[in-house]
Amino acid sequence: MGGTEEINAVGQTMMTVGESRTVGYQEAGFAGWIVLFLRGMFCNWMVSMGVVGAAISTTVSGKIMAMWMPIIVFFYLGFEHSVVNMFLFPIGLMMGADFTLYQYIMWNEIPTVLGNLVGGLTLVGLVLYTTHVRTQAKKYFLNHSLIGEKGALALYSKEICHG
């Protein structure tokens, strides 16, 4: 398409993937959107678990394993990640794949982004929030300065006992 070299096997594969993951879902209609949404949701669940696992691991080898294992799962299972698609599909279009920018955005990127958001926010973010929201000791403030629980109890008992 703009170059003098023939498109090699890798380029042909990128074009084929782009075509099948846009036109194929368009042919499925609303069911295609649902499949893409679910693939995007489960993909970002895996990606977010990799980020959290790497963040909480204390060794370098643990960080590498915690980060790469969920990513390998998402690639192996064929889940959809919007950032990966933002590279793959435009490259396919530039090489002359048989789908349009509208088809890519409407029949891949939008449902994938929505699924990625739901997956990351609910399957990881919301779970972490609900399980760790009250793990810190309660904070008490007195005259704009932070005092601990023991200090607050001491002040409270002093006021009650000595009025």
pLDDT of residue 4: 73
Distance (Å, rounded) from C-alpha 86 to C-alpha 83?
A: 5
Residue 98, CA distances (Å) to 12, 69, 89, 133, 155 in order: 11, 34, 11, 49, 74
Backbone torsions φ then ψ of 146, nearest 5 degrees: -80, 130
The residues that bridge with 147 in the sheet, in sequence order, are 140
pLDDT of residue 132: 81
Distance (Å, rounded) from C-alpha 88 to C-alpha 17?
A: 8
Q: Where are the domains of the chain?
A: 9-132, 136-163
Q: Per-residue DSSP letters for 57-102?
A: --SHHHHHHHHHHHHHHHHHTT---HHHHHHHHHHHHHTT-SS-HH
pLDDT of residue 157: 54
Mean pLDDT per block of 10 residues along the chain (163 residues) reads 78 91 94 97 96 95 96 94 94 92 96 97 93 71 57 54 51
pLDDT of residue 103: 96
- Of 31, 30, 32, 12, give the one whose Cα is nearest residue 21: 32
pLDDT of residue 131: 87
113 SS3 class: helix
What CATH architecture applies to the domain 9-132? Up-down Bundle (1.20)
pLDDT of residue 108: 96
